Amino acid sequence: MRLVRLGPAGSETPGALVDDDTFVDLSDVVGEFDERFFGSGELATLAAVVDERVAAGRTEPVGDRRFGAPFARPHQILCIGLNYSDHAAETGQAVPDEPILFTKSPNTLIGPNDDVLIPRGSQKTDWEVELGIVIGRRSSYLADEAEAAASIAGYVLVNDVSERAWQIERNGQWSKGKSAPTFNPAGPYLVTPDEIGDVLALDMRLEIDGTVRQNGSTSTMIFSPAFIVHYLSQFLALEPGDLINTGTPPGVGMGQSPQVFLRGGETMTLSITRLGTQTQHVIPDPSAVR
């Protein structure tokens, strides 16, 4: 299935895409794609509901509806740094022996085509196309990677927007450069694992104003999604609906020579195989203008 939330920010309708132009409204069945929904196990029975409604002709056109993030604000957003061997190389850093973990504020989450805001004082706002994992059940001390894989509700395309000066040059944890408003576009849909195939064979791409900046593959991922979920569960409890951003391939602005960063006025276009495409316009944060 491809789960979506369509409509104005704060009033999205949960549903499932039938094709790129048609969806099934599921608001009367699930209410919301949130922690309660994922933790209830209802996802396992939802496909049958969708099939019944499609057979009955209970579908609607997507039309010009806005795509929101395909799940409601998660309990936490966890991120893995330097998880692509070719990205580690472009930054001049060694491949890590264990996953590098940092957090991102949950209120960074926005829809896939919403505007990305350059925060006040930013000089080094950067982009990162990433594969996101959404957790399907409470996961703590998972026994192995097979149990971890069974805990994954689905995958989503995300843009881990970053302010590099705040992340690297201002001391402390990376979260400082990762948590400005709008810094985590997600979507357009959440895809269940049965529709993904080999999660380590997905093409990833990001363009800025039509120029390709990132053109990579999950095949160069150091730690697989199942490894990451199992690993994290040994240190903390993953809650249903939590999002894990799993790292980015090479081509970020920080890795260019000379370095290139977002200034406002650009258009970012991202895609991952079977996870769709998202487009964001980059603008200065209106609240930062005095």
Report all structural domains of the chain as residue ranges with CATH numbers, in order of start. 2-61 (no CATH), 77-288 (3.90.850.10)
Instruction: Tell which residue, 50, 51, 2, has the closest CA to residue 29.
Output: 50
Question: What is the reported pLDDT for 215?
Answer: 97
Question: What is the reported pLDDT for 86?
Answer: 80
Question: What is the reported pLDDT for 258?
Answer: 95
Question: What is the reported pLDDT for 289?
Answer: 56
Q: What is the CB neighbour count within 10 angstroms for residue 95? A: 12
Question: What is the reported pLDDT for 93?
Answer: 75
Instruction: Tell which residue, 185, 199, 216, 186, has the closest CA to residue 274.
Output: 199
Question: What is the reported pLDDT for 87?
Answer: 77
Q: How far is CA 190 from CA 51, 55, 93, 186, in A?
A: 18, 22, 32, 9
Structure tokens at 30: 């699930």
Q: Which residues of the chain have pLDDT under 70?
A: 288-290
Prediction pTM value = 0.96
Question: What is the reported pLDDT for 288?
Answer: 64
Question: What is the reported pLDDT for 244?
Answer: 98
Query: What is the C-alpha to C-alpha distance for residues 9 and 196, in angstroms, rounded to an integer?
Result: 28
Question: What is the reported pLDDT for 263?
Answer: 96
Question: What is the reported pLDDT for 91?
Answer: 73
284 strand-pairing partners: 118
